[in-house]
Chain A
Amino acid sequence: MTIPVLQRETWRESLRSLKVATWLGWQIESNWTEPFLFAVYSIAKPVAGAMILVVMYLVVSGGQTNNPLFPYIYLGNAFYIYVGSVLMGISWAVIDDREHYGVLKYIYVSPIHVYFYLLGRGVARTLTGTIAVIITLTFGMLVFKLPVNLLTMNHALFWPVFLIGLAGLALIGILLAGLTLITARHNYFMGEAVAGALYLLCGAVFPLDVLPKSLQYIGLGLPMTYWLEGLRRALIGTSASPLLAPFSNETILIILLGSTLLVGAISLGFYRWCERRAKEKGLIDMQTMY
């Protein structure tokens, strides 16, 4: 009966890692200032970021919000808040623990399960990101008459797409965390670079159709493309992307699931490889002092 006992222990350790890391992430995210300032910062920053593009659109279009492109841009921007939050929340944990707090080696010496630990560290930022997304959407519905109806929206499509997409983002976060483990502190540029590239390639602000053919293929290979497409279809029933229009909702969901599983396998394998390299090169407790 050794194997079942070990498996039970592994699961217990995984859940513990997730729970404690979630608690830790929340303490780090929320403890740096007064609760009021924390709330203002957590909400105002991403909302302001999303609004910049909306304002630009309104200026260029002369204030037209009835163009189908407007809800496309607005929803893409609103949900893109998650990309930065989840990716950075997870990958930044490695830099934070190793360089800032100097505890990564002690965490690694304890019986944690590193994937669950990293996911837990990302939960806090995902939660603050969720609040920002809800506020951005509410603001859009009230001020810009965004055609989203919470009662008639396609819940059966929205929730699976939403959750699978978040899982995909978390898995890409683990990939970035692996990269961070084997590189120096300046690797935080990598997170921003990846978030920026995804912004361009997954149809967050404009349909893939406007990209050159080669970039369209890259965009079609990214789970985030189908995530945003699925979310738009679920919330407003339509999309402004002719390239994705032939795909049914079910097809979008299946492609999203398949590409997320693929990205997941690559990310977890890549993290293990990075971890092995880090142990070979003595990087687990590296402090670059940059």
Chain B
Amino acid sequence: MNHACAIKTENLGRVYQIKRKRGESGPTTLVALEDVNLAVRHGELFGLLGPNGAGKTTLIKILTTLLTPTSGHAFVDGIDVVENPQEVRRRINMVSGGETCGYGLLTVEENLWMFTQFYGLDSKTARERIQSMLEVVGLADRAKTKSYHLSTGMKQKMNFARGFLNDPQILFLDEPTLGLDVQTSRILRDFVKRWVRERPGKTILLTTHYMAEADELCDRVAIIDQGKILACDTPANLKRRLQGASIFKLQTTPLETLDHFGRLPGVSQFVGHRRNGHTELNFILEDENALVKVLDAVQAKGGHLLSLEKREPTLEDVFIHLVGRGLSDETGD
């Protein structure tokens, strides 16, 4: 731990070139990251919260030396990731969720052993860490199973275990619980929390689009959308931004159009979804009096109220407040 920040980015940018066939119209570039400035402290469990395509994975790829930025600088433990990638790799590891990678012909234990050797662990330490991680992810009884016999979820767990084998100084977790069942996700989240708490100075950068995950795990959260950092603070402070605002979730009978709800007086932000057999309306209101106008508007559109819930602000509400759409809304409608 040589530097003030475990991770630091300075005006970091990444633009992808899009190949278009002759005659095909559309943009030829895609801005994945734009002027990203982050400073993650040693010992922090730092979250990057944003919808799919926000630039989270691009940022992780740059920080783990897999991708070069098109502008700005990125430092891991004070080391420039472009100038000295090998020195960065000695300090880090990474887990990408939803991946079923691994050598199918090798057993689970062999797959993990191979990576311990890349990191130079002696046999005794390697065996202990493999055993311990297999117990964490519930694969201890599958250690001798060839990985092509594993289910998708088991392969994901093996990949998760791999990320912790070298006890990295800085760990990058890119949507680590993506696609896993609720119980497994809970176990892994608990382990991540414990891992960073029991090892002072170790840092985790976690990307997720599950607001509860970010809220539960992270010391600080940066909200990212369309390649830009919109806010960065503790989850409590981010939610405090909505203190005084009234947050309501309504379920109504199916409504034809939803656009006008966002224009009602007193409505600060609105996100609506058509679900199976009903419509869900989420409002951030300037004060509770505006609710009357909302209910009138529902009635005017021929809808009937099925349920109404007043909630405490969540990180998703913060995201809606900042961006004007929900985390799960890819297109923002």
- Which residue of chain A is the closest to B106 with respect to CB atoms? A27
Compute how far the CA of A108 lies from the CA of B114 in the bound complex, rounded to whole angstroms.
14
Chain B contacts of A13 at CB under 8 A?
Answer: 120
- On whether the beta carbons of B66 and A279 are closer than 8 Å, the reply is yes
Contacts of B92 in A (CB 8 A): 109
5 contacts between A and B (CB under 8 A): A101-B102, A105-B66, A110-B89, A282-B16, A282-B66
Interface of B toward A, CB cutoff 8 Å:
16-17, 61, 64-68, 86, 89-90, 92-94, 96, 99-106, 110, 114-115, 117-120, 162, 166
Q: In the complex, what's the smallest C-beta–C-beta distance from A286 to chain B, in angstroms?
A: 11
A139: Cβ under 8 A from any B Cβ: no
- List, in ascending order, chain B residues with CB within 8 A of A105's CB: 66, 94, 96
* Chain A residues whose CB sits within 8 angstroms of the CB of B96 once the complex forms: 105
* Chain A residues within 8 Å of B166, by CB: 110
User: Within the complex, which residue of B67, B94, B105 is in contact with A282, where a contact is CB–CB below 8 Å?
Assistant: B67
Instruction: Knowing that A28-B103, A102-B99, A282-B66 touch, tell me 13 more A-B residue pairs with CB under 8 angstroms.
Output: A13-B120, A20-B114, A20-B118, A24-B114, A28-B105, A31-B106, A101-B102, A101-B103, A102-B100, A103-B101, A111-B119, A112-B118, A280-B68
| Residues in A lying within 8 Å of B, measured CB to CB | 9-10, 12-13, 16-17, 19-20, 23-24, 27-28, 31-32, 101-103, 105-112, 276, 279-282, 284-285
Question: In angstroms, how far is the closest chain A Cβ from the Cβ of B45?
Answer: 20
Min CB distance, A13 to chain B, in Å?
7
Residue with the greatest number of chain B CB neighbours at <10 A, chosen from A17, A24, A102, A111? A111
**Pick the contact of A111 from B64, B94, B102, B118 — CB < 8 Å?**
B118
Residues on B with beta carbons closer than 8 Å to the beta carbon of A31: 105-106
Q: Is the CB of B119 within 8 A of A101?
A: no
Known pairs A109-B89, A109-B93, A282-B67; A102 contacts B118 (CB<8 A): no
Across the interface, which residues of A come within 8 angstroms of B105, CB to CB?
A: 27-28, 31-32
Distance in angstroms between the alpha carbons of A179 and B319 in the assembled complex: 43
A165 to B104, CA, bound (A): 33
Chain B residues whose CB sits within 8 angstroms of the CB of A19 once the complex forms: 117
Contacts of A282 in B (CB 8 A): 16, 61, 66-67
Quick one: closest B residue to A6, CB to CB? B87
CA distance A112 to B65 in the complex (A): 13
Check B101 against A106 for contact (C-beta < 8 Å).
Answer: yes
B64: chain A residues within 8 A (beta carbon): 109
* Set of chain A residues within 8 Å of B93, measured between Cβ atoms: 109-110
> How far does the Cβ of A273 sit from chain B's closest Cβ, in whole Å?
13
A17/B66 in contact, CB under 8 A: no
Q: Write the chain A residue with the least CB distance to B119.
A: A110
- A281 to B17: give the CA distance in the assembly, Å: 8
A19 to B67, CA, bound (A): 27
B120 and A16 within 8 A (CB): yes
How far is B103's CA from A88's CA once the two chains are assembled, in angstroms? 19
Q: Are A109 and B65 in contact (CB under 8 A)?
A: yes
Residues of A within 8 A of B118 (CB): 16-17, 20, 107, 110-112
Chain A residues contacting B119 (CB-CB under 8 Å) are 110-111
Closest to A117 in B: B118
Are A106 and B103 also in contact (CB < 8 A) when A282-B61, A282-B67, A284-B66 are? Answer: no
Bound form: Cα–Cα A245–B230 in Å:
74
User: How far is B105's CA from A32's CA once the two chains are assembled, in angstroms?
Assistant: 7
Tell me whether B86 and A101 are in contact (CB under 8 A). no
Nearest Cβ on chain B to A254's Cβ, whole angstroms: 35
Say yes or no: A102-B101 contact (C-beta < 8 A), given A27-B106, A108-B66. Answer: yes
Among A23, A102, A106, point to the contact of B94 (Cβ < 8 A): A106
CA distance A103 to B110 in the complex (A): 14
- Considering the complex, give the chain B residue whose CB is closest to the CB of A30: B105
A105 to B174, CA, bound (A): 13
B115 touches A110 (CB 8 A): yes
Q: In the bound complex, do residue A103 and residue B66 qualify as a contact, i.e. CB atoms below 8 Å apart?
A: no
Residues of B within 8 A of A103 (CB): 101-103
Check A111/B86 contact, CB under 8 A, given A20-B117, A106-B162. Answer: yes
Whether B115 lies near A106 (C-beta < 8 A) is yes
Cβ-defined contact, B114 with A101, below 8 A: no
Which residues from B are CB-within-8-Å of A281?
Answer: 17
Cα distance A17–B114 in the bound complex, in angstroms: 10
Q: Which residues of B contact A108 (CB under 8 A)?
A: 65-66
Give chain A nearest CB distance to B178 CB in angstroms: 15
Measured in the bound complex, the distance between the Cα atoms of B15 and A280 in whole Å is: 10
Hey, which chain B residues are within 8 Å of A276, CB to CB?
68
**Which residues on the B side are within 8 Å of A10 (C-beta)?**
86
Separation in Å of the A6 CB from the closest CB of chain B? 9
For B65, what are the chain A residues with a Cβ–Cβ distance below 8 Å? 108-109, 279
- The distance from the CB of A162 to the nearest CB of chain B, in whole angstroms, is 30
Contacts of A111 in B (CB 8 A): 86, 89-90, 118-120
